[in-house]
Structure 1
Amino acid sequence: MKRFQSWAARLTAAAIVLVAATGGIATAQAETVKFGAAPWPGVTVKTTVAQKILEAIGYDTQVTNASWTIALQAVGRGDMDADLGIWMPTQKSTVEPMVKSGKIDLLVKNVPDAQYDVVVPDYVWNAGVHSIADLNQHADKFEHRIYGIEAGNDGNQIMIDAIKNNTYDLGDWDLRPSSTAAMLAEAGRKIDKKQWIVFLGWKPHWMNIKYDLKYLQDPKQIWGGGSAVYTAINPMFKKDNPNVARFLKQMVVPSKIQSGWIYDYGYKEQPADQVAERWIKNNMDRVAEWLDGVTTADGSGPALAALKKSMGS
């Protein structure tokens, strides 16, 4: 019994030293922060920015690229910790049941001003096409076509349903699915010639920098109203890793910034690592907001100071 009491006393003393040194009881921290990510340019660079910051403050990171549904399911199972690319409301039918069942938490709108809708070039807008309801008045100029992206995409389906139901008098229109690259190539050709085109557009994306586009009004809200991109996180990871969770919750990116990342990475084809590191170095004021109250992985000091030291600034 005396031996046990002596051992317990030493353990208590060690705990007191630990509290004194760290300012509180140490919390469990993940050795590796695991991200699931759809292979979309915006998600790729945004996740790389998060990686660079986390690694600079002492964490290891890992990214698994997969379709957005598979990546999100992995977060729900705990195989992955977080996913920075959840589009709402277009992915609502999959995401909402996982939130209600407690498999994931939607931590923050990391791109609060995102948009996914139908777009036209500025010269078409200036000619009077301001709403999806205006399209059919100029059907011949559009050749009764709406250009979409990959078959099965939620945006395609919204417009297919509108055509099927004759919403906005689109009953004799056609949705032309293709790859995103092919759709944007067709848009680029028509824009260069000032020809009329209507297609699926979204921000953040480099298309908003390359072209002067206008998002059409949707008075019947077939697109579900305003869009946002969320960070999904595994609830247990969030509970066990409050330091990482705080950083991810504070990592909010206006669409204009992410469109710039996508332009450099997806259009100019610069490496994601290069785009991310250059942006971090040149935007420490914004990064400081993301790291407010965040410490290094070992709790030894402020995360921002460690990041600046790592970046040589």
Structure 2
Amino acid sequence: MKKFKTAAMAATAFACLATTAVAAEKAECKLVRMSDLGWTDIALTNTTAELILKALGYEVQQSLLALNVTFDSLKNDDMDVFLGNWRPVQDLDYKAYFDSGAVVPLTTNLTGAKYTLAVPQYVADAGLKSFDDLQKFADKLDHKIYGIEPGSNKPLLDMIAAKTHGLDGDWQVVESSEAAMLAQVQRAVAAKDFIVFLGWQPHPMNVNMEMTYLAGGDAEFGPDFGGATVRTIARGTYPQDCPNVTQFFTNLVFDIDYENTGMNMIMTDGLEVPAAATKMMRDNPRKVEEWLKGVSTIDGKPGFDAVKSALEIE
């Protein structure tokens, strides 16, 4: 009888501790703060994560930030997670954040990506096929390279400042946003004007227009036309602070076809981002199941069951 009472007391104590642990995690981790650079791929992946996390009982805050502000926000514990750590292009400028432990990688969420300068096919056909050809077409290009938001164009700014690839004259990087850059490209293509811009894969631009990636940009963007992987990263203590959410983000891995299809729904078909993200999950239930292995709701219930029910996944 004494042994039974002791065991019962121990079980009660463990249950109380477990309840306290869940409550403590709720207080610290219920709000998940995610950085958004204004890129369509991150909009798709962030919103996918947001829909799942809300179904699990979390709250999500997405903030539109420049890349450098994203890293500083992670370092200062003002942001929790970022799904757009493109490598190797971000490795050099942000190495210190990883070396210090202020920012930690959780997983590689995409392989087979690329990220470098590109031109419409008719510009390549005219002879502009590499970084070393830029100067020859400087006048036709109006000495302009079209980039995206500030903080993401540093390799190009450094290239112009150092006058590498024979660049000479008053070259400039036009910094704006993904949407503004693509609108400028579309206007140029319609008029058959010369333009050079920052291109990447995955993105519907690769299927919606004929384009060529420029060779010779290894120093700026890495080999294989800026061949890249994309990582999910977090503030330094997040894995210890929020293990359940961390497990989810560690599982959350995409592929090129998935992202191209989802982004095309948004940019070509005109679906709102949540609708596209939801449709992609309903069309790929096995992926969702993989993403939720070992993940629970915020109150400890099976994660996949909750998400399946909330998002009507068959």
Q: 1:16 to 1:176 in 2, by over 3 A?
A: closer
Shift of 1:93: 5.0
Aligned to 1:188: 186
Q: SS of the residue aligned with 2:116? A: strand
Worse-superposed segment, 280-289 or 234-243: 234-243
Contact 1:209-1:260 within 8 A present in 2 as well: no
Q: SS of the residue aligned with 2:72? A: helix
Alignment of 1:69-148 (within 5 A): 69-92=68-91, 95-139=94-138, 142-143=140-141, 145-148=143-146
Q: Any gaps of 5 or more consecutive residues in structure 2?
A: none
Partner Cα distance (2:96, 2:161) in 1: 27
Partner Cα distance (1:136, 1:94) in 2: 26
Task: Name the TM-score, length of structure 2 as normaliser.
Answer: 0.79
Alignment of 1:1-313 (within 5 A): 10-15=8-13, 29-30=25-26, 31-40=29-38, 41-92=40-91, 95-139=94-138, 142-143=140-141, 145-149=143-147, 152-155=150-153, 157-172=154-169, 174-180=171-177, 181-218=179-216, 220-225=218-223, 226-266=227-267, 269-301=270-302, 303-312=303-312, 313=314
Partner Cα distance (2:240, 2:157) in 1: 42
Partner Cα distance (2:273, 2:56) in 1: 20
Partner Cα distance (1:145, 1:256) in 2: 35
Partner Cα distance (2:137, 2:169) in 1: 13
Q: SS of the residue aligned with 2:189? A: helix
Q: SS of the residue aligned with 2:172? A: strand
Q: 1:311 to 1:158 in 2, by over 3 A?
A: closer
Q: How many residues align?
A: 303
Cα deviation code 1:51-75 (max 9, x no counterpart) = 1112223333333343333343333
Contact 1:120-1:198 within 8 A present in 2 as well: yes
Q: In structure 2, what residue type is equivalent to 1:308?
A: K
Contact 1:36-1:74 within 8 A present in 2 as well: no
Partner Cα distance (1:17, 1:268) in 2: 51
Contact 1:162-1:171 within 8 A present in 2 as well: no
Shift of 1:257: 3.0
Percent of aligned positions with the same letter in both sequences? Answer: 28
Q: SS of the residue aligned with 2:237? A: helix
Task: Name the TM-score, length of structure 1 as normaliser.
Answer: 0.79
Q: Any gaps of 5 or more consecutive residues in structure 1?
A: 1-5
Q: 1:11 to 1:127 in 2, by over 3 A?
A: farther
Considering only aligned residues, what root-mean-square deviation do their CA atoms show, in Å?
Answer: 3.5
